[in-house]
Chains A and B, each alone.
Chain A
Amino acid sequence: MPDAKPQRLSPLQLFLIFTRIALTSFGGGLSGWFMREFVQTRKLMSEEEFLNGLAIAQALPGVNVTNMAIWIGYRMAGRNGAIASFLGIVVPPAFTVVLIGSIFASFSQYPLSHVALDGAASAAIGLSLAMGLTAARRVSRKLFPLMIMAATFVAIGILQWPLLWTVAAAGSLSVAVTYFDT
C-alpha cells in the first residue's frame, strides 16, 4: 500500500501525545519514543518518512527533540500541529524541572533516587540504540553512504571532534555526492 494520508491528528491530540512522552521519558531517548509512538504503535508515519525528518532535524541547528516534535506536528496537522507539538514537548516538562529544582534539597537526601535514575537511563539508551540501528539498517547498501556513516560515527564517537563542523563537512559532502549521483 502506498503512503496513504488519512493520518490526521488534531493539534490537541498532538499536544497530549507529546506531553505524555515528555513527562514519562525519564533518562532521555526522546526521539526514540517518537519513533515508537508515531511509526510503530500508531502507524501514522512510515519508517522512511520518519527517518527523513530525523535526518533534517539532526542536521539543522536546534535541539533534536524539539526540532523533531515540530517536524512531526507540522506534517500531521500543519501550523497549529507544529505549535501544539512544540508546546507539548516543552511546557509541561519545563514546569516539572522547576518543581523538581525547587524541592531538590529534600530529594537529594535519598541516594536511591540517583540509583533509580541510573537504571532508567540505562533502559532509555535502548530507545536511542534501537533508533540508531533502524536508521543504519535503512541506509542504502552502497559503499559511499556506508563510509559516510562510519566516518561520522568515528569522528564523533571515538575522536570526539566538534559536532557542528563534523556534521557540516560530512553532510555537505554526502548531499553533494548524492545530488550529482542521481
Chain B
Amino acid sequence: MRSKIDKILLIILLIAFLVSIYLIFQWVPQIKASNPAEQIAQRIFYFHVPSAWLGFMAFFVVFCGSVAYLVTRDRKYELISVASAEIGVLFISLVLITGPIWAKPVWGIWWTWDVRLTSSLILWLIYVAFLMLRRYLPDGSKRANLSAVVGIIGFIDVPIVYYSIRWWETQHPKAVMASSEGSLAAPMFFAFMFSLATFTLLYVYLIRKRYQLLALEDTINKQFKEMEIL
C-alpha cells in the first residue's frame, strides 16, 4: 500500500517536473530587460523561491515534530523531525546556490549581505548545526531529547534572525538591488504556482522516503539485536 502510494507520487512528480520545466523555459513569456543574461537568469526564480518556501516549511515540520516528540516520546516524531531537517537543509542549499547564479548577471556580484541572503545563510547554519549535533551524539532517548530542544529553539529564533537582519540592513548602504519586480504577470504567476506545487510534491515524496528509510534502519538494527538476544 505504502509503496504503491510512493510509486504514484513518483510518477506524478516526474510529469509535474517535466511540465514545470516546459512552463518555465518555453511557455512563460520573456521578461523585458536590457541585459539578455538577465532574461535567462530570471527564470531561476521559479526554482529559487519555491525552494525557499519549502525550506521554511520543512523547518516548521522540524519544530512540530520536536514538540510532538517531547509530548509523546514517540520515536516516530523524532524521525520525522530529522528527515525534515535534512530536506530543509537541502532546499535551503538550493536557495543559496541558485541565488548567486541569478545575482551575478543581474546585480554583478555573487553575494551581498542583504536581509534575504543573510537570513537564509543563518537559517542554513542553524539546521546544519542541528544535524551536526545529532552526528556527535549516540543514538538513544538522550539524543532525541536534546535534538528536540534544539529543534524548538531553532525555529523560534528564525523570525527573530530575519527581523534583526532587516533592521541591520537598513542601517547599512543598500546593496545594488534591482527594483522589485512588482506584481507578477498572469502567466508568470501560473508558472510559479505550478512550480511551487511541484516542489511541495517533491518535499512530500522525499520526506516519506527518508522517513521510511530511517524506520527501516531501526527495524533492521532491532532484528539484529533480537538475533543476538535469542
Real binding pair: no
